[in-house]
Amino acid sequence: MLTITQALVDQIVAHARKDHPDEACGVVAGPAGSDRPERFIPMLNAAMSPTFYEFDSGDLLRLYREMDDRDEEPVIVYHSHTATEAYPSRTDISYANEPGAHYVLVSTADTDGLGDFQFRSFRIVEGEVTEEEVRVVEAY
């Protein structure tokens, strides 16, 4: 289960809406070993595409060095889908290289008739996708 604050959900959704029609992407870091997302880090989609996202390799290297210096790890890796449901694509699955992370997908397309976005979380380990419950809290 992913436990996340409403403030972080709002930031991720706002980033997805801001970058629409391109996919948005980013990380939420937290203290190493805590599984607690705390620090919102929006990233640039270097692909600048409505159907694909790619972290800039230089930005990603700086981010990992910074997290290492702060004794943090990527608790959430997120991105948006602009025209499809919030479910990992084959490409998303192939790029999922953080087995301990929660992979959050936000869809900015109303694919289910339930509103203008979906917010879902998955674990992706060795190509296996497992959806998990998302528990939104006001504070930890």
36-83 pLDDT tens trace: 999 999 999 999 999 999 999 999 999 999 999 999 999 999 999 998
E-only strand ranges, the chain: 2-5, 25-31, 39-43, 72-81, 102-107, 118-125, 128-132, 134-137
Instruction: Please give the structure tokens belonging to residue 20.
Output: 């629409």
pTM for this predicted structure: 0.94
